[in-house]
Amino acid sequence: MSTYKIILSGGGTGGHIYPAIAIANELKSRFPDAEFLFVGASDRMEMEKVPQAGYDIEGLWISGIQRKLTLKNLMFPLKLLSSLLKSRKIINTFQPDVVIGTGGFASGPLLKTATSKGVPSLIQEQNSYPGITNKLLSKHVDKICVAYEGLEKFFPKDKIILTGNPIRKDLLNVEQKHIEGKDAFTLIHSKHTLLVLGGSLGARRVNQLIEEKLTYFQSQNIQLIWQCGKLYYQQYKHYNDMEYVQVHAFLNTMDMAYAAADIIISRAGASSVSELCVVGKPVIFIPSPNVAEDHQTKNAKAIADKEAAILIKESDLDAQFETHFDALMASPEQRKTLGTNIKQLALINATSDIADEVEKLLQR
């Protein structure tokens, strides 16, 4: 049997990169001889993260369209043409048996080129409201793996498979690691632990909220693991001097952080939401209002509507945060209900289910 050649494309944020890496790892375990190539945007984080995961990557000169008239938008046609030409060269040289897109603007030109040449193709949509790239590609690809129900509003119904989002295997049994997690962060076992997640770069309004509420949390006898993001670490690291606060730019042992947590405050990017469903702890979502199509609010609402999380919009934080948090701290029943309900939404076999669909395309 000849060796399979597989291209994965997606990026711009961790939410597109980590699912692609998880899918590649699963396929590699099934086809150890397969050749993999990633294609991303040449100036984004995938150029660093993908090689760290052990895969080759090619970069395209591409970026998204800005919402307002800017110089970058004037460059867009030129970047698109450049990316389509480079994509054609990549496809012709590498000759993939299948291409997989996980969203983000880099996957657009690559998958458009691949599908026009008849290469079997699959896209994975992480959000409850699809991005523009995947909406455009959906007409041309063979299969669409989704994480939420109801996406036939946006995609051809006969191509959709509900799989969930790929997640890290080490998150599947965090409830058994609660003591180990608290020890890993040298936390006091008798205190409640609040885990704050702002994404890899950080979330400005979430960080401002946490800073404003530090004495409030102290009065509640709460200890914090505060992942503020690398853009904000210099600004907030002095709070490490407070004995109940730990400030981190990035968390390398996410499983231990989730295990240690009793309550979690998080943005509502697709990967975070999927991970939090698996983790099964009470969550307060503070979605970023600054993302395309406001998809974080839609992701969080899809969970909150099932009484599986609390959703507070940034604009409502001043009025609502302490009320919600007080109620959560006062009610072990509410914490248990939220944790139980969110865990029921987890699709824990997503990575292998997506790989099954890729395998069917390879065998065609």
- Nearest residue to 9 (alpha-carbon basis) of 60, 78, 52, 82: 60
Query: So what's the pLDDT on residue 65?
Result: 67
5-166+349-362 matches 170-343 in fold: yes
Fold of 5-166+349-362: Rossmann fold (3.40.50)
Note the pTM of the prediction, 2 decimals.
0.81
Query: So what's the pLDDT on residue 68?
Result: 67
Question: Counting beta carbons within 10 angstroms of the beta carbon of residue 122, is it exposed (0 to 12), middle (13 to 18) or buried (19 or more)?
Answer: buried
Angle at 129 between CA 126 and CA 133, to 5 degrees: 75
CATH code of the domain occupying 170-343? 3.40.50.2000
- Return the domain boundaries, the chain: 5-166+349-362, 170-343
For the stretch 300-320, pLDDT in tens is 999 999 999 999 999 999 999
Distances 177 to 165, 170, 258, 341 between C-alpha atoms, Å = 23, 11, 9, 20
- pLDDT tens over the chain, length 364 residues: 569 999 999 877 777 888 899 999 999 999 999 999 999 888 888 888 899 999 999 988 877 666 667 777 778 888 888 888 899 999 999 999 999 999 888 899 999 999 999 999 999 998 888 888 899 999 999 999 999 888 999 999 999 999 999 887 788 889 899 999 999 999 999 999 999 998 777 789 999 999 999 999 999 999 999 999 989 999 999 999 999 999 999 898 999 999 999 999 999 988 899 999 999 999 999 999 887 778 899 999 999 999 999 999 999 999 999 999 999 999 999 999 999 999 999 998 999 999 999 999 999 8
Neighbouring C-beta atoms of residue 138, cutoff 10 Å: 18
Q: Are 334 and 74 in contact (CB under 8 A)?
A: no
Query: So what's the pLDDT on residue 17?
Result: 87
3-state helix, strand, coil split of the chain in percent (to 5) is 50, 15, 35
Report phi then psi at 301, rounded to 5.
-65, -35
Q: Are 339 and 309 in contact (CB under 8 A)?
A: no
DSSP states of 57-118: EEEE---PPPSS--HHHHHHHHHHHHHHHHHHHHHHHH--SEEEE-SSTTHHHHHHHHHHTT
